[in-house]
A and B are shown apart, each in its own frame.
Chain A
Amino acid sequence: MSTAPTPSYVMPAPGSRGPDIAFKWVAMFAAAMIVVLIVMVGWELYYGSRLAIAKFGAGFLWSSEWDPVLERFGALPFIFGTLVSSLIALLIAVPLGVATALFLTELAPLKMRQPIIIAIEMLAAVPSVIFGLWGIFVLIPWLRDSLFVWLKRFLGFLPLFQGPIYGLSMLAAGIIIAIMILPIVTSISREILRSVPNLQREAAYALGATRWEVLKIAVLSYARRGLFGAAVLGLGRALGETMAVTMVIGNRPQISASLFAPGYTLASVVANEFTEATTDLYQSALFEIGLVLFAVAILVNAAAQVMLKSMSGSGPVKVN
């Protein structure tokens, strides 16, 4: 017993824990930098907007006036436009993205999967301004002459689809954003669906479920939380989309029930007006718009986290 053989996997010699400790600190530093960055962005935005905050107070949030000449500023139409255009985008992109992901992981023949995945990833590589130009010259004319006319004819009884059709509109912006967030929603959904254990599917099949039922009870409901997370990440992208949105939304600071009416988003007004804002108060108001966008993004994400927590866990399948 006293001559126990020395194991070949000896512990490292004392003192060589240096790399371990160094790695820990480097990783911690990297993680801390993100928090520091967020705090600094928030501070910088607050600092830049203190003139406007002092002048307009909380009224900035619910004033609808935006007059650079008289220097009266309010953010409400922009907040409305940001939320509505992002919501439209999610309503289009999430079902499409999840369906695509389902097709790719569950239904598509193996040979077809890779080309489709590449095509989707190419979509993510297209610059924003290209989507915008394509929007102006291709999408908008089609929407104006076909889709919008059709929507107005058949769904015109809804306030959503009333009023004059210009082409440039909240709905056009929502559609452009949907196309732009489709890659991220699809890619993440695909990863989520791939991580659903096969045991789930086999168990459902064993119970005699059809393919659709397997997808419904074994895959989708198991992956529900993850798919919701994919939607939240898509939403994060949607809130901040700037260039393409600016080019198709019509840039009119108004709140209208009709999706055919032009709108405006927080990110767009900053992109549009910041370069030529010559007075301090004007620039400060644009900083405050940035601060509001920052706050909206945080609030929306926080709300999503709360909803995520309240959803049934990803553990055992709950059959509805």
Chain B
Amino acid sequence: MLPIKSKWIALLGALSALSATCAPAQMLINGAGATFPFPIYSKWFNEYAKVDPSVRFNYQSIGSGGGQKQILSETVDFGASDGPMSDDNLAKAPRTLWHFPTVAGADVITYNIPGDAKLKIDGATIAGIFLGKIVKWNDPAIAGQNPDLKLPDADIVVVHRSDGSGTTYIFTDYLSNVSADWKAKVGKGTSVSWPTGIGGKGNEGVSGQVKQVPGSIGYVELVYAKQNKLPYADVKNSSGNYVTPSIESVTEALAAADIPADFRFSMVNPPGATAYPIAGTTWLLVYAEQKDHAKGEKLVQFLKWAYSDGEKLAPALDYAPLPDALIKRALEKVQSIKY
């Protein structure tokens, strides 16, 4: 028996020696949270590994709720969230916790009506449809905005996200902004109590349903709609123009939005003439004072890189980069992180 045992011990010893030699002197910075920016963050961390090989980022896209919880309990070095933290949650932070906007995205209205129709729609009508008040496609509210379309006398089937998501947050934030009725009856959140319609899980659940059911309407991320070639509507912005959602019109919306010093803002329905109104940003959550000097230093270096080189990678992945003015403000705040 003994020889086998000693072999095992030798093997274990060898393994531990191996893992010790394999592990380089590399620092690991952990983050967790939002799912919407996960593709761009992965890209950033990959690219950044080439810039600074001495640090490795590990990001778990567990959702904004989990991201906020984990940064509050300091089990991660940075958090990420698709919605700004509430005052209540922010008050639970042991030290000052800062929001850093990274990239922006938009929600598009996708639909299934006969013909290759390009729908035009305004906020009040979208709210009416999702409140269950506008129930037919040939309703004057829709037909009035689309005089050149021949809209069917068909029921509108509303499809929304069933899983809690930043996409829903942006959409309901927009509807609360443009419709007092929506604000009073439903409100905004990552999940809400929908007055009507059916829930699809994820972008694929919503778009699958919209693609298949004639007369349906739903909202998905711009990224997803573009990559899957879904039809999407031009939405009327606060300047009265119908704007096609695109990376440019989202960055335009960001530039036009009124952004407070703490970066907790909603960019829905901003004033710009060419701004697409249903857009939102996503945030990294970082403590103003870093406990670990070395990690803090690396994290700040990374943020600086993200705001310069990182932003340039965004359009290729269908995310809207931040406008220059906002990047400048964010960089100033990054400089004042203490470590």
Contacts and interface: CB of A to CB of B under 8 A. Distances in A.
Interface stretch (B182-190, B243-251, B252-260): B182-190
A277 B191 CA distance: 8
Interface string A124-138: 000000001100110
A133 B202 CA distance: 12
Contacts of B197: 252
28 contacts: A68-B193, A69-B187, A136-B200, A136-B208, A136-B209, A140-B212, A141-B212, A168-B198, A247-B200, A251-B199, A251-B201, A252-B197, A262-B198, A268-B162, A272-B162, A272-B201, A273-B190, A274-B63, A274-B65, A275-B62, A276-B63, A276-B82, A276-B164, A276-B165, A276-B191, A277-B65, A277-B191, A279-B86
Nearest to B186: A69
A35 B171 CA distance: 46
Q: How large is the interface on B (under 10, 10 to 19, 20 to 34, 35 or more residues)?
A: 35 or more
B289 interface: no
A273 B191 contact: yes
A166 interface: yes
A251 B163 CA distance: 9
Contacts of A132: 201
Given A250-B199, A252-B194, A279-B88, 17 more contacts: A69-B188, A70-B187, A136-B209, A141-B212, A144-B212, A168-B200, A168-B209, A246-B163, A251-B198, A272-B199, A273-B191, A275-B35, A276-B64, A276-B163, A276-B165, A276-B191, A278-B68
B231 interface: no
Interface in A251-275: 251-252, 262, 264, 268, 271-275
B76 to A, nearest CB: 15
B300 to A, nearest CB: 26
Interface string B13-57: 000000000000000000000010000000000000000000000
B192 interface: yes
How many of chain A's residues touch chain B, expressed as a range? Answer: 35 or more
Q: Name the residue in A167, A251, A273, A283 with the highest tally of chain B Cβ atoms < 10 Å from its Cβ.
A: A251
A164 interface: yes
Contact of A246 (B162, B188, B189): B162
> Secondary structure at chain B's binding surface: helix, strand, loop or mixed?
loop
A268 B201 CA distance: 10
A67 interface: yes
B155 interface: yes
Interface in B110-155: 155
A277 B86 CA distance: 12
A268 B82 CA distance: 22
Contact of B190 (A136, A264, A278): A278
Contacts, number: 110
B212 A246 contact: no
A144 B62 CA distance: 34
Nearest to A72: B193
A132 B202 CA distance: 12
B177 to A, nearest CB: 15
B204 interface: yes
A68 B191 contact: yes
A66 interface: yes
Given A167-B212, A246-B162, A276 B190 contact: yes
Contact of A136 (B64, B66, B199, B205): B205
Interface of A: 65-70, 132-133, 136-137, 140-141, 144, 164, 166-168, 246-247, 250-252, 262, 264, 268, 271-279, 283
Contacts of A167: 209, 212-213
B35, B64, B163, B201: most-surrounded residue (chain A CB, <10 A): B201
Nearest to A261: B198
A18 to B, nearest CB: 15
Given A262-B199, A272-B201, A68 B163 contact: no
Given A69-B188, A69-B193, A276-B63, A166 B155 contact: no
Which has the most chain B C-beta neighbours within 10 Å: A132, A271, A276? A276
A68 B191 CA distance: 6
A246 B201 contact: yes
Given A246-B201, A272-B162, A278 B64 contact: yes
B83 interface: yes
A103 B204 CA distance: 39
A235 B324 CA distance: 58
B89 interface: yes
Contacts of A279: 86, 88-89
A278 B89 contact: yes
B299 to A, nearest CB: 23
Contacts of A65: 193
B163 A273 contact: yes
Contacts of A166: 157, 198, 209, 213
A22 B320 CA distance: 64
A272 B192 contact: no
Which of A67, A141, A283 has the most chain B CB within a 10 Å cutoff? A67
B289 to A, nearest CB: 24
Nearest to B162: A251
Contacts of A68: 164, 189-193
Contacts of B208: 136-137
A246 B189 CA distance: 20
A67 to B, nearest CB: 4
Kindly name the residue among B86, B88, B191, B209 whose own CB sees the greatest number of chain A CB atoms within 10 A. Answer: B191
B66 to A, nearest CB: 6
